[in-house]
Amino acid sequence: MMPTVSRISGLDWLMIALYFGALYWVAQWVVKRSKDSAADYFLAGRDLSWWVIGASIFASNIGSEHIVGLAGSGATSGVAMAHYELHAWCLLVLAWVFVPFYMRSMVFTMPEFLERRFDVRSRYVLSVVSLVTFVVSKIAVGIFAGGVVFGTLLPELSLNFGGTVIDSFWIGSVVVILLTGLYTTMGGMRAVAYGDAVQVVVLIIGSALLTGYGLAQLGGWEELRRWCGSDMFNLWKPLIPPGVEGTWAPVSEVNAAGKLVRQAWYFNGYFPWLGMLFCAPIIGLWYWCTDQYIVQRALGAPNETVARQGSIFAAFLKLFPVYLFLIPGLICYALAKSGKVPELAGMIGPDGNMLPGASNGAFPLMVQYLLPAGVRGIVVAGLLSALMSSLAGVFNACSTLFTIDLYQKWRPRATERQLVHIGRVATAAMVLISLAWIPVIKGSRGVYDYLQSVQSYLAPPIFVVFFLGVFVKRTNANGALWAMVSGFALGLFRMLVDTPVSLGLAGYETGYPQGSFLWIVNNIYFQYFSVLITLVSAIVMLAVSHLSPAPDYAAIGGLTFETTTSEQRRLSRASWGSAEVVASAAVLIFILGAYLYFRG
């Protein structure tokens, strides 16, 4: 029986209060255990358990924008976006390839690892770029999606100050940012990690309840397949080359001003197969294996064994979003199309497809109209946990990067207490920056879509430097530096070209003059441009490295495969057993199973 009330009830608020109570208890426990040292504040004293590491990695990845975006994608293009979620195999690369090098070097940050492998110049470049990327992309997108959730679920929430009405977007975003910033500032990495462990449980339970209620209302899995059709259950369609069981056609794209700015070619109206085949893995490997935001959790392990186990556990958890966040989007589409939930019927256009822009409301609208009181509160708590865990992760990552990679370099004699103090100040600064971002995000209609491409422009040179740095011992500091400089310059150039068009600024409502150089740059699909940046960065790194003196191989001992000693290999081999191998194989089997099942 469907609920007739769509507002958050008293019972829902009780469930949300219980969630915050649990989070408060965890924060208090963490603060009591905390020590005033850099290792404890930034890496939780390097004593995190494998299950905490895995849960924290997963929770940091799954923000509210992830849930809202995945459900929206499911409602419009079916399971196609599952490719990104099935990148769980990238976490196995972290576990088996990079964890030994990271744990052996005992670094705090990814830029610090680059300094060990190359030189201090690489460390500074990556630190600055990472900080800017975190602020511009992760914080901005997280706040935007969180505002969408609050605006949909709590439209009646508002405050009136002297005639000025503050809506739910502002109230929800400010409250969550302040609460997240408070426990992150006080407890550091330990608070983030253990808070994530609690939030993962709430998030999975809440999303599983929504999926279950949705299927029950629809009539089961077979009904879902019937209403969605085979095309929406085809995971292979983005990977099929031209001329094979499909059609290629230009899809019009509009900017924030609603003007046509380009026509990109997509297969069956969705994603180009070359972009999915080559760009998606590049971004996945950068994100899961080299991004401070993710890898910092593994660095909090006491040894290589625990770091590997935590990464494998995170890979297992990464399989959940396909079924808990993407499938609800398909359920929303089926419920709207079938008319079984009248409140959702307005999301479907005359052509039988989801109306443009309506898909963003798929997840919150299902929560609002499908779930009974109490259960709705659990799912809302799950959405809040997603927003808070992703923000906590980026706050802590920014704090660590600024304190360890920049401040400690400027003040090498700083005490442990001073480093922790600066870390807290840096976290507070991130909170203030987040608050300043709210009006920017609220007033920019096209910023969310635009920011999705930011990591595709900034990630390739980082991917190249880390992977070539570990696999090719001949690469040197000059090669790494110029690879990052050239790659970041290309990415920044594309972002500067895209920005005025994407935001519909005055004079750019219809894009650049057709046929001009800037028009060509703006119309290259972002995944293809990402692959171009990767190729240029790799060529520059290899060429410059071979045109300059080879690195001192003794100085980079244990930091590349070729300079690893037999003793180091023996210790690494002793750190894993059959359990890790079986668990990794199980993850790969689940991924293969998804590709075999979702064939239309």
Q: What is the pLDDT of residues 557-573, one digit of tens each?
A: 999 999 999 999 999 99
Residue 140 contacts residue 122 (beta carbons within 8 Å): no
> Any idea what DSSP says for residue 278?
I
Cross-strand partners of 252: 263
Q: What is the pLDDT of residues 541-560, one digit of tens each?
A: 999 999 999 999 999 999 99
pTM to 2 decimals?
0.85
E-state strands within 156-221: 159-161, 164-166
Q: Which among 216, 229, 140 is positioned nearest to 442, based on CA atoms?
A: 140
Confidence of residue 267 (pLDDT cuts 50, 70, 90): very low
Q: What would the mean pLDDT of 534-544 be, rounded to a whole number? A: 98
What are the structural domain ranges in the chain?
10-597
Alpha-carbon gap, residue 379 to 71, rounded angstroms: 14
Q: What is the pLDDT of residues 96-127, one digit of tens each?
A: 999 999 999 989 899 999 999 999 999 999 99
Burial letters 560-579, b for 16+ CB under 10 A, else e:
beeebeeeeeeebeebbeee
Domain at 10-597: CATH architecture: Up-down Bundle (1.20)
> Any idea what DSSP says for residue 147?
H
Locate 34 and state its tokens: 């905390």
Q: What is the pLDDT of residues 120-170, one digit of tens each?
A: 999 999 998 888 878 777 776 667 666 666 776 666 667 776 666 676 767
Q: What would the mean pLDDT of 336-356 be, rounded to a whole number? A: 84
Considering the chain, what is the average pLDDT of its residues? 82
Confidence of residue 279 (pLDDT cuts 50, 70, 90): confident
pLDDT of amino acid 269: 45
pLDDT of amino acid 373: 84
pLDDT of amino acid 244: 43
